[in-house]
Amino acid sequence: DAGVIQSPRHEVTEMGQEVTLRCKPISGHNSLFWYRQTMMRGLELLIYFNNNVPIDDSGMPEDRFSAKMPNASFSTLKIQPSEPRDSAVYFCASSFQTVNTEAFFGQGTRLTVV
Amino acid sequence: AQKITQTQPGMFVQEKEAVTLDCTYDTSDPSYGLFWYKQPSSGEMIFLIYQGSYDQQNATEGRYSLNFQKARKSANLVISASQLGDSAMYFCAMFSPGNSGYSTLTFGKGTMLLVSP
């Protein structure tokens, strides 16, 4: 397996534009997590899915953020409209729904909003 | 609520020495998993070691060992014989079911480890 695949690796966009981040989890994993990493806040859990269903989106900062998982092999995180304070590294991770197996992370998407 | 606390923002160690990175956790769930990840300057998150809440023995993986003290709710990472390549950010994390009944992975703020020659 190629691991968790995120795209794009880097994104630079202007304030007010829509941004869509993509994630392909590891085949067979039934949990998917979106994290945001900044120097100030560290790793924040934004939302997680189990069997394609959003379980907890309490970490999503504002209504400008939305996430979907239309099937077991694909998820998106959308920011509309984007703002400079959204600049961060966004990670997607997947795992089996159990406490005793590790989550595998994608390479991350570095988002810069100017 | 699940919480992970890493009290050391930064640690310095000389090459070939051992170093302990602290981690305490809080959960009311009897079943949980504790993990350590390494994030080098390149940015990827690398899984290092796992400890289950019911495991009787401390986990070990090569030069990494986890000092698990359940009563104290601590899960410190011990790196023996430090190498220059160990310089990175280290995150402690916990999988626990929480209120939803679905396991979510909670991270600490991280500890930056610098290994000097």
- pLDDT tens for A37-51 read 999 889 999 999 999
Note the pLDDT tens digit of each residue in B53-63.
999 999 999 99
Cis peptide before B40 (omega within 30 of 0): no
Residue A47, chain B, CB below 8 Å: the answer is no
A107 and A6 Cβ atoms separated by less than 8 Å? yes
Residue B8, chain A, CB below 8 Å: the answer is no
Residue-wise DSSP of B14-40 = ETT--EEE--EEE-S-SS-EEEEEEE-
Backbone angles phi, psi at B17, to 5 degrees: -90, 165
Q: Which residue has 């992370």 as its token pair?
A: A105
Residues of chain A with pLDDT under 50: none
Residue A1: the pLDDT is 64
The minimal CB distance from B52 to the residues A31, A100, A105 is found for A100
Note the pLDDT tens digit of each residue in B4-51.
999 999 999 999 999 999 999 999 889 999 999 999 999 999 999 999
Which one, of A85, A63, A67, A84, lies nearest residue A15 by Cα?
A84
Task: Mutate one of B4, B31, B92, B105 to test the A interface: name it (highest A CB count within 10 A).
Answer: B105
Give the DSSP letter of residue B43. -
Task: Mutate one of A9, A23, A29, A43 to test the B interface: name it (highest B CB count within 10 A).
Answer: A43
